[in-house]
Copies of this chain bind each other. A is one copy, B any other.
């Protein structure tokens, strides 16, 4: 079975661990979000790709969900001693090595997809991990400008998604989410081919706006999924009207979508989604989703451990078979 999964960071990575546990023999291609990539200290950092790679490769910091296990922060401390920041982004020494290798390869002319493949040669994640694009796409968030003139004129500024998410902890209103560069980007080699060859396409409980939404913003990806004649099934990242993890509600508000399992399904729409899983606490949303033309089931959606997550993945595949039949 060939499965294509669109994935952001922590939520996508944990779901993938459940999926690979549920169907160990499946041929899984992951299309990873690169909209939250950022250049820090002159190095190219790809948080979502690395989270997937480290999680599936056994190098992740389990409790934190991102970064490396047994991490130290000597380099970061030294950079701070030079007065070089930002200090709000937690890059550890082990993680630095990944970014050094990536940056060196990119400087040598390799596209990000080739770099990702080279990094995965070490981690052996058990899936084929592709960046959504080899082009530079950077998600920016439009916020109120704290340095706006005092005369009351509303002024806004765009900040990098990581600044909004990590430094500001999504605690300021987001007026718009803009995947800068997406319109000019092309899908990375293998992305459209994997979608065209897939038996099933899954949307894990990743952020619908800044993770999966950004992947879908790369011209050709949404269209390829919409026209693929195979089941497309998603899992709600919203449980009981709140994100299971992270601050998806903040960015959903920015794009005018309610933080409910049903609203997210409608946001993707029946043109894209064939099936949608909501948590059992949201069983009342099933009828609403089905009314939108998307088959829906209520099952436990808390990724408390690999076994629970594997059951979620199995439910998603089961719903895909229902849809196909």
Contact = CB atoms under 8 A, between A and B. Distances in A.
Interface in A104-124: 104, 107, 118-119, 121-122
A42 interface: yes
A302 interface: no
Contacts of A94: 74-75, 78
Q: Which of A41, A42, A104, A121 has the most CB of B within 10 A?
A: A42
A76 B72 CA distance: 13
A83 interface: yes
B72 A103 contact: no
A108 to B, nearest CB: 8
Contacts of A81: 97, 122
A84 B42 CA distance: 19
Which of the listed residues A79, A100, A119 has the most CB atoms from chain B within 10 Å of its own CB?
A100
Nearest to A71: B74
Contacts of A103: 42
A290 interface: no
Contacts of A104: 41-42, 84
Contacts of A180: none
B100 A43 contact: yes
Interface residues of A, number: 28
A315 to B, nearest CB: 37
Contacts of A119: 82
Nearest to A94: B78
A75 to B, nearest CB: 5
A280 interface: no
Contacts of A165: none
Interface string A62-84: 00000000001011111101111
Given A42-B107, A107-B42, A100 B122 contact: no
A245 to B, nearest CB: 27
Nearest to A73: B93
Interface of A: 41-43, 72, 74-79, 81-84, 93-94, 96-98, 100-101, 103-104, 107, 118-119, 121-122
18 contacts: A41-B100, A42-B100, A43-B100, A72-B72, A72-B74, A72-B93, A74-B93, A75-B94, A75-B97, A76-B97, A77-B97, A78-B93, A78-B96, A79-B97, A79-B101, A82-B101, A83-B121, A83-B122
Given A41-B100, A82-B119, 19 more contacts: A41-B101, A41-B104, A42-B103, A72-B72, A74-B74, A74-B94, A74-B97, A75-B75, A75-B94, A75-B96, A76-B97, A78-B93, A78-B96, A78-B98, A81-B97, A82-B98, A82-B101, A82-B122, A96-B100
